[in-house]
Structure 1
């Protein structure tokens, strides 16, 4: 059996063992969220040996050359020595700028990084708290316009990170981990194409950034944003969205509750085969969005989707 080394320890594991599971079974507490190679919370660095990597394309060439691998996608097939991601050593320091509650279940967290972070609207970022708990969140801020990094945390259910986030105060330290591309973005080539932005719960976070990027670039096509929430109070960006509608004639915003979703989707009419749809939220909501859009005549290859894989409910 191959031997796995980490944190000054060495032990044997069955050939083909999942690297993430092997590290966690040994008590090293490597964080993870999606287990699909998307969230990048489970990064480890190989210092000797090489695992069998099911998704080598999930990391860019620079990170791979440095030895970083996504442990959830790797199997131990030979002797292997790794270093787990250390937020104090490998993470970017950040400070809490503000914390507030735009709705009873959504916490808005704004951070300022120690040095400028280059990103685009719609990307994800792994956040590490002082207790070493990590969780990937979508960026809701707009680069070049917002002086902070903004995140919308769904706090309807208990969670190791969100529970601790409730206690955060301005000035508290956090660490930033891997920045991930994500499927959602705005392309200047879309200038004249109709856009449908469909979000459930805090799936609105990345689309809030993408929407403002599209408007900043003076998008010419119609934009229809649909936000699905549990109840009216959970349309946590209703006010800012209405302000954008008042300033942009090509923007329509539809705020709906869960029971209204079938009717809202039935009202979507495909008026152009150039329409693009950006979808975000819990997998069940995203799949419902995608199914109805497909039945309305929108091809699957004209839908871009991000899912929040670890939340119950609609976000």
Structure 2
């Protein structure tokens, strides 16, 4: 059986064992969230040996050349020595400059990193707290405009990171892990095309940044934003203000109980429409199906799925 080494520990594992499971079964507490290669919380660096990687395309080429792998997507095929991502050494410190509740369920977190972070609207980044708990969150801020990094934390359900976030105060520090390029972004050549933004809950966060990026770049095509939420939209005021300033933007706030009926009535404005979707897995799947039935080509539909992990 192959030997697995991490730090000062070496032990044997069954060939073909999932690397994340093998590390955590040994008590090393490598964080994870989605187990699908999307959140990047389970980054490990291969120092010797090479695991079998089910999703080599989930990491960019430069990071792979440095030896980084996603433990959840790897299996142990030979002797392997790895080091888990260390936020204290490899992360970026960021100070909390803003904490406020948008309604009673969404915590808006604003951070200022110790050095500028280059990003674009739609990306997400790992947040590490002082207890070593990591979760991926989409950036709601707009680079070059907002002086901070903004995140919208859904605190409806209990969770290790959100429970800890309730105790944070302005001046505390978090660590930032690697940025990750998700599927959501704005392309300048979309400028005249219809744009459809579909968000559920805090799936609005990256689309809030992308919407403002589109308007900043002078998007002239019609933009429809539909926010499906329980109760009142947590960005009802800012969305209304933005719609009042831009005649090509329409905003529709939909009670979550009406999600299915509203999606069934949704129609594409043209075959050129670009659809961006963000929310839970069931919501994303329902929206993608609706876009297909509405005649929007698959290449014009992009989505990011939020995975809720309670522990």
Q: Is the 8 A contact 1:17 1:76 kept in 2?
A: yes
Q: Distance in 1 between matches of 2:308 and 2:239?
A: 27
Counterpart in the other structure of 1:277: 275
- Quote how far apart the aligned CAs of 1:311 are: 5.4
Matched, 1:37 2:56: no
Q: Distance in 2 between matches of 1:170 and 1:309?
A: 27
Counterpart in the other structure of 1:125: 125
Unaligned runs of 5+ in 1: none
Q: Is the 8 A contact 2:272 2:296 kept in 1?
A: no
Q: Distance in 1 between matches of 2:165 and 2:194?
A: 37
Partner of 2:285, secondary structure, is helix
Q: Distance in 1 between matches of 2:263 and 2:100?
A: 32
Counterpart in the other structure of 1:95: 95
> Structure 1 residues 32 and 311, CA, compared in 2 at 3 Å: closer, same or farther?
closer
Counterpart in the other structure of 1:113: 113
Q: Distance in 1 between matches of 2:164 and 2:89?
A: 22
TM-score by length of 1: 0.96
Q: Distance in 1 between matches of 2:8 and 2:157?
A: 36
- Quote how far apart the aligned CAs of 1:100 are: 0.5
Tell me how many residue pairs correspond in the alignment: 310
- Quote how far apart the aligned CAs of 1:260 are: 1.9
- Quote how far apart the aligned CAs of 1:289 are: 1.4
Counterpart in the other structure of 2:284: 286
Partner of 1:253, secondary structure, is strand
Q: Distance in 1 between matches of 2:258 and 2:45?
A: 47
Counterpart in the other structure of 1:182: 182
Counterpart in the other structure of 2:260: 262
Counterpart in the other structure of 1:57: 57
Unaligned runs of 5+ in 2: none
Q: Distance in 2 between matches of 1:262 and 1:11?
A: 51
Provide the alpha-carbon RMSD of the alignment: 1.1
Q: How does 1:192-203 map to 2 (within 5 A)?
A: 192-203=192-203
Over 4 Å off, 4+ runs? none
